[in-house]
Amino acid sequence: MPTVLEVIKSTTAYFEKHGVESPRLNAEHLAAHALGKKKRLDLYLEFDRALTEQELAPLRGLVRDRARGKPLQHLLGTVEFHGREFRSDARALVPRPETEQLVELVLQSKVESREFKILDVGTGSGVIAITLALELPQAVVTAIDISADALALAQSNAASLGANVTFVGSDLLPGEPAAFDLIVANLPYIPSGDIPGLSREVRHDPLAALDGGGDGLDLLRRLIESGVTRLVPGGKMFLELGHDQAGRVAELFSAHGYRDVCAHKDYAGIERFVSASR
């Protein structure tokens, strides 16, 4: 019977052969999950323990699916975001590290102590809305998505984390004429023609969460145009974008009368976010 360390090494080699990024890290995460460990580092105390066939059987299925490109987060069923664990599956986009930076930008902006109305557009798994609701307990947070499946996942995450968020099924903006202090969105921004060239992992995300139309800006364009009337005077909008879209999005903001338009770089130095005020 192979030991824990031998299984990790053989799985790592298998992942390397099949082009899985960070093969050792993936191998450890899946082994820990299959063996019921809370953390992969718990495996380090059991490297010499021999595994039974009963323990190996579920791991083989996970390894096979990961080698075929199924996202690690879908196999684990969870993803960490801003220090919290969220459920993650095929119903919504797997949250990316850049989106954590989007949340940080919002938290660093001026947030009043009074009731502060926040709208998360295209909430997906709910990570943005839920994180803001937990970090800003004085805020009134609404999250919308056109996908009923995504909303169900987001509601489940909110319930498990104890976040007070109102979820609404809607296309971009809710029907009632509410005014918001802050609108934040990580909408689909990938040009339709680029989608076939995406990684295997990304192609497991819902197509509707990826496809931004011909130039990738269809939904962003609509939100910027309609959002200006849904912000209170001085209210702000924060958007996450593709790597080469900041300039065009900044022009859209300016063309629709927004002020204080500003592009923000991610940790890789890419202008990944644009903010603007009414």
131, 84 contact by CB (below 8 A): yes
Non-local CB neighbours of 185 within 8 Å, separated by 6+ positions: 120, 121, 122, 220, 223, 237, 238, 239, 240
Pick 79-277's CATH classification: 3.40.50.2300, 1.10.260.40, 3.30.360.10, 3.40.50.150. 3.40.50.150
Q: What is the pLDDT of residue 173?
A: 86
**What is residue 112's predicted lDDT score, i.e. its pLDDT?**
66
The DSSP letter of residue 39 is S
What tokens does 174 get?
Answer: 């809710």
* DSSP per-residue codes, 154-220: HHHHHHHHT--EEEEE-SSS-SS---EEEEEE----B-GGGGGGS-TTGGGS-GGGTB--TTS-HHH
**Token reading at 69:** 């490109």
Q: What is the pLDDT of residue 115?
A: 77
* Number of residues in the chain: 278
pLDDT tens profile 25-82: 999 999 999 999 988 999 999 999 999 999 999 999 999 999 999 999 999 999 999 9
Q: Does the predicted model carry a pTM greater than 0.85?
A: yes
The predicted structure's pLDDT at residue 97: 92
pLDDT at 77: 95
Q: What pLDDT shows up at residue 172?
A: 87
Q: What is the pLDDT of residue 109?
A: 86
Residue ranges, the chain, pLDDT below 70? 111-114, 176
| The pLDDT value given to residue 27 | 97
Amino acid letter for position 239: L
The string over 19-54, giving b where at least 16 C-beta atoms fall within 10 Å of a residue's C-beta and e elsewhere, is: ebeebeebbbbbbbbbbebeebeebeeeeeeebeee
Rounded to whole angstroms, how far apart are CA atoms 142 and 122?
Answer: 11
CA distances from 79 to 84, 125, 127 (A): 8, 10, 10
